[in-house]
Amino acid sequence: MPRKLADSTLARLRKALVDERHRLAELIEDRRTKLEQARLSQAAADRSPDPASAEAGSMAFEYEKELSIERNAVDLLAQVDYALERMDAGGYGTCERCGADIPVTRLEVLPYTTLCVECAAKR
């Protein structure tokens, strides 16, 4: 039977998840704005006389970088939301693979984790 985390521990971890959710939502919004700016810059460079120029390559790189950051943030946000759902359902803090308790120290570092250290290492 999995352990029941103390209410104070759950409250602290919930706050960490909510704070992370807020930070990621802001980051995603910021990256989407920068993606749009990079896309517009790249489109303008594509219409320039020399689309193979260093400037055009730099804009394409910037666009890809912003897109990668945005995708990573969206993925992390989904993990945070899932952790909050698990918390509400009572399954938070239990490894989804083996059913063992996830150490509180691990949850404090990665509050959105769903795997214990051993199962995460096997991934």
Beta carbons within 10 angstroms of residue 31's beta carbon? 21
pLDDT band at residue 88 using 50, 70 and 90 as cut-offs: very high
> Which is more confidently placed, 34 or 99?
99
Domain ranges of the chain: 7-92
pTM of this prediction? 0.79
